[in-house]
Amino acid sequence: MKLQRRVVVTGLGLISPLGNNVNSSWEACINGKSGISFVDNKIKNSPVSIGGQITNLNIEAYIDKKDIRRLDTFIQYGVVAAQQAINDSGLTDSHVNLDRVGINFGTGIGGIETIENNHLSYLDKGYRKVSPFFVPGSIANMTSGFISIKYGLRGPNLCTVTACSSGNHSVGQAARSIAYGEADAMVTGGSEMASTELSISGFISARALSLSTDPKTASRPWDIDRDGFVLSDGAGALILEELNHAINRGANIYGEIIGFGMSSDAHHMTAPPENGSGAALSMKNAIDDAELNPNDIDYINAHGTSTPLGDIAEAKAIMNVFNDKKPSISSTKSMTGHTLGAAGAIESIFSILSINKGIVPPTINLDNLDPNCILDFTPHEAKDKNIKIAMNNSFGFGGTNSTLIFKKY
């Protein structure tokens, strides 16, 4: 970044439809395994029967039973991922000044499950049956608040809500909190559990979801037969630190954040401009922030949601920014589905691991490439590649765009 203090990644935590930790999710990802399955959404006559769910997760290993009853599931997922990342980093095992450790954890929709359940209780039996934990257990910033309380983190306590770019924005803004000198370390990421009757119904009405009845092939970014995204749940967490802070405590460094770009489409509530101009500006801003040239980017973990309009717009944006030299590209949403506000954090982790492991994850189900999207999308199988610099894109409803750039340390 252009500011003085360098920011590195020292801890990772992840739960996704592919697995309940970083290693299992990554192994499934690079082996092209789909995490999508049939779901019972309990919506009468629903045309959607698939999704990406979290399964076999022992929440009680991370959170007390009392708190589980009080917290929306999206908060629980965020706490689990954050605890994994904190343990991975060893941050709280060190003699660090917790006044200088903060948190910025995002979500796209927040506690919609708790909102729905309490509304049903209100309609059935009146206000006396609404839980006293309804508001604190569902508001968007309570993941940040609970993690701060759990670990005694007294630095900045923030939550970023920018639809499907929330995770990316949270990571970028957390990095800037360190670069600006507001904190020495930040817990950051995104979490989501939006697979509820009301949420699914809303996305169905917006014609955003895939209506495929084959869960393993439904998410197919850039394929000519794609018909919408697959809604999924999950959370990703990263520990960011100022470089010398990490070195002085002997932390393992996964990589460095060197660029962060943002933009707005200023176009439509849910649809991107056809030429992808907003996405292109976000990527250009990140490249400028990193003081790089487009040719320096080795890999892009794309937004790639499997929507007819969005995939074309992002492909055109990449063509615009990168001209003749196109980096390797993939959409890991082809395997995870779309985790909304958690996606940017999950895909930041995959981007960092791509650098560390020298592997470009595949885009599965890309059987018939859309002729409007002629780029190297790494179809079907992962490939080995020396990746020094990776880019991660996330875009959201309201025309909000964000791009992160990571570098090998």
In angstroms, rounded to a whole number, what is the distance separating the alpha carbons of residues 125 and 118? 10
Is residue 64 within a helix (H) or strand (E), and if so which, with residue range? none
In angstroms, rounded to a whole number, what is the distance separating the alpha carbons of residues 404 and 290? 9
Instruction: Spot the catalytic one: 29, 169, 338, 373.
Output: 338
Using one digit for the tens of pLDDT, what is the confidence trace for 3-19?
A: 579 999 999 999 999 99
Whether residues 278 and 385 share a domain: the answer is yes
Whether residues 239 and 279 share a domain: the answer is no
| Inside any domain, residue 325 | yes
Using one digit for the tens of pLDDT, what is the confidence trace for 362-397?
A: 999 999 999 999 999 999 999 999 999 999 999 999
Q: How confident is the prediction for the chain on average, in pLDDT? A: 96
Whether residues 122 and 195 share a domain: the answer is yes
Whether residues 203 and 316 share a domain: the answer is no
How many C-beta neighbours within 10 Å does residue 40 have? 8
Interhelix angle 73-89/142-151, nearest 10 degrees: 40
Secondary structure class of 46 (helix, strand, coil): coil
Using one digit for the tens of pLDDT, what is the confidence trace for 175-200?
A: 999 999 999 999 999 999 999 999 99
Residues 277, 317 contacting (CB under 8 angstroms): yes
Using one digit for the tens of pLDDT, what is the confidence trace for 36-89?
A: 999 987 888 899 999 999 999 999 999 999 999 999 999 999 999 999 999 999
Whether residues 52 and 91 share a domain: the answer is yes
Whether residues 22 and 117 share a domain: the answer is yes
Instruction: Spot the catalytic one: 164, 169, 245, 373.
Output: 164
| Inside any domain, residue 106 | yes
What's the predicted TM-score (pTM) here?
0.97
Whether residues 150 and 81 share a domain: the answer is yes
Domain boundary among 201, 221, 248: 248
Whether residues 36 and 67 share a domain: the answer is yes
| Inside any domain, residue 254 | no
164 is known as an active-site residue: yes
Domain boundary among 182, 217, 248: 248
| Inside any domain, residue 336 | yes
Whether residues 87 and 157 share a domain: the answer is yes
| Inside any domain, residue 376 | yes
Q: Number of folded domains in the chain?
A: 2
Per-residue pLDDT, 329? 98
pLDDT band for position 1 (cuts 50, 70, 90):
very low
Per-residue pLDDT, 323? 86
Domain boundary among 248, 283, 299: 248
401 is in which domain, residue-wise?
A: 260-407
Residues 6 or more apart in contact with residue 262 via CB below 8 angstroms: 169, 172, 282, 285, 400, 401, 402, 403
Whether residues 98 and 53 share a domain: the answer is yes
Kindly report the CATH number assigned to the domain that includes residue 79.
3.40.47.10
What is the β-pairing status of strands 389-396 and 299-301? parallel
Whether residues 16 and 125 share a domain: the answer is yes
Residues 6 or more apart in contact with residue 156 via CB below 8 angstroms: 102, 103, 104, 177, 182, 183, 186
Whether residues 244 and 265 share a domain: the answer is no
